[in-house]
Structure 1
C-alpha cells in the first residue's frame, strides 16, 4: 500500500457563505467531499450517491468463519451459529 499526500486548497462557496479546506491526506479529502455532498444534496441523497460510487469496487471475499462476524444470514445466505 502506498502513502499518498495531498497538497491542495479547496474554496467552496454557496449563497450563505463559504469554506476553505486544505486536505493533506485522502481521508481528509474524503471527509471534505462528504461534507460538501451532504450540504448540497442532503444526507439521504448523498448517502445513495456514495453507495453508487462504491458499487464500482467489488467487495472482497471473506470466509464466514470469522469469530467476530455477526451471526445471521450474512455469509452466502447461510446463518453462522455462535458457539
Structure 2
C-alpha cells in the first residue's frame, strides 16, 4: 500500500447549515465521502454507487489477499 498525503478543505452547504472537513489521508477522505453519500443518497443509494465504483477495480489486485496488501 502506498502512502498518500492529502491537503483538502471540504465545505458542504446544507439547507439548514454547513459542514467543514479537512481530511489528511485517503482513508479519512473516503470516510467523509461515504458519510456525504449516505446523507444525500440514503444508505441503499450509497451502497449501489460504491458497488459500481468497486466493480471497476475488482480485478486490479487479483491474486493477492487483503493481508498481502497491508
Question: Into which bin does the TM-score normalised by the smaller protein fall?
Answer: 0.7 to 0.9
Counterpart of 2:21 in structure 1 is 21
Name the structure where helix makes up a greater proportion of residues.
2
Q: Which has the larger radius of gyration?
A: 1
- The number of aligned residues is 63
Q: Tell me: higher relative CO, structure 1 or 2? Use CA pairs within 8 A at least 6 residues apart.
A: 2
Where does structure 2 lack aligned partners over 5 or more consecutive residues?
Answer: 66-70
Task: For residue 62 of structure 1, report the CA deviation from its aligned partner.
Answer: 5.9
Q: TM-score, normalised by structure 1?
A: 0.69
Where does structure 1 lack aligned partners over 5 or more consecutive residues?
Answer: 64-83
The runs of 4+ residues in structure 1 deviating greater than 3 Å are: none
CA RMSD of aligned residues (A): 1.7
